[in-house]
């Protein structure tokens, strides 16, 4: 009975891990910041934390210790590099991909094949991706009223097309109370953008995605191998 409970607990834990959304959240409002998210956990990666400068870090003793440490590291790196240097350099062969791209006869077909693989990968991944919009405001302005009107028309058309594209190829969610607005400001001298967007995918979705593109992965592994053909 205890074994059954343990097995059930492990399965429940695995299910929870597979449905946890992981991804990135991007914020821009005069300053840019990026976060890595996993469920309710959010860790900022950009911009990094400013290192506090301490006077004690620049004492003569610590500086001398740092120089000695750096010197030892350089000497170790030089010895390691010397050991790795081969006696006779072996001619490196191109990969299958590089060889086909260099050949004028096979390059067009290779480019078309790469494009097809890229489309398959992007389409499969987009289906697993969820885009959440918390805030997306664009204030269109310029030094000329007529120019502002033209830019505003182009921005609204672009925003409409982009929204339709996201809605068609991936899951697009607008958070409750989210601000999405494109508006002209004939008094502003330059456009202003404010955004808060999160892109997530579940771990289960990632495993499914990798399983769906397994044939593409096999083809890529073949292409990055050395070209042993005579041609």
Cβ density class 47-72: b for 16+ within 10 Å, e for less: eeeeeeeeeeeeeeeeeeeeeeeeee
**Structural domain range at position 127:** 93-223
The pLDDT assigned to 159 comes to 83
Partnered with residue 181 across adjacent β-strands are 137
Provide the domain count of the chain: 1
Report yes or no on 178 lying in a domain: yes
Report yes or no on 217 lying in a domain: yes
Report yes or no on 118 lying in a domain: yes
The one-character DSSP state at 141 is -
Report yes or no on 125 lying in a domain: yes
CA distances (Å), origin 183, targets 144, 149, 162, 193: 15, 10, 17, 11
How far apart, in whole angstroms, are the C-alpha atoms of residue 28 and residue 76?
44
- Window from 56-65, 83-92, 206-215 with minimum mean pLDDT: 83-92
More confident residue, 167 or 95: 95
**How does pLDDT run across 20-58, given as a tens digit for each residue?**
999 999 999 888 999 999 988 999 998 877 666 666 666
Provide φ and ψ at 49, rounded to 5°. -70, 135
End-to-end CA distance of the chain: 65
The pLDDT assigned to 51 comes to 66
**How does pLDDT run across 79-98, given as a tens digit for each residue?**
877 776 555 455 667 888 88
Tell whether the torsion through CA atoms of 141, 144, 145 and 148 is positive or negative. negative
The pLDDT assigned to 89 comes to 53
How far apart, in whole angstroms, are the C-alpha atoms of residue 72 and residue 198?
45
Cβ proximity of 166 and 131 under 8 Å: yes
Nearest to 201 by CA among 229, 175, 168, 171: 171
Report yes or no on 77 lying in a domain: no
Report yes or no on 80 lying in a domain: no
Report yes or no on 216 lying in a domain: yes
Report yes or no on 152 lying in a domain: yes
């Amino acid at each position: 009975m205890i074994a059954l409970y343990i097995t059930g607990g492990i399965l429940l834990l695995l299910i929870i891990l597979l449905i946890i959304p992981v991804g990135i959240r991007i914020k821009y409002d005069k300053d840019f910041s990026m976060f890595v998210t996993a469920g309710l956990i959010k860790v900022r990666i950009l911009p990094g934390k400013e290192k506090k400068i301490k006077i004690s870090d620049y004492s003569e003793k610590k500086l001398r210790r740092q120089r000695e440490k750096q010197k030892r590291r350089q000497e170790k790196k030089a010895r390691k590099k010397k050991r790795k240097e081969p006696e006779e350099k072996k001619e490196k062969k191109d990969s299958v991909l590089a060889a086909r791209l260099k050949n004028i006869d096979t390059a067009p077909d290779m480019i078309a094949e790469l494009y097809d693989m890229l489309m398959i990968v992007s389409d499969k991944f987009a289906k697993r991706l969820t885009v959440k919009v918390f805030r997306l405001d664009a204030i269109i302005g310029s030094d000329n009223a007529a120019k502002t009107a033209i830019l505003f028309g182009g921005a609204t058309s672009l925003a409409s097309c982009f929204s339709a594209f996201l809605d068609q190829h991936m899951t697009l969610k607008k958070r409750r109370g989210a601000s999405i607005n494109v508006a002209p400001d004939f008094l502003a001298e330059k456009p202003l953008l404010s955004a808060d967007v999160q892109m997530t995918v579940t771990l289960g979705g990632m495993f499914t995605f990798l399983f769906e593109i397994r044939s593409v992965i096999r083809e890529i592994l073949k292409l990055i191998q050395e070209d042993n053909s005579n041609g």
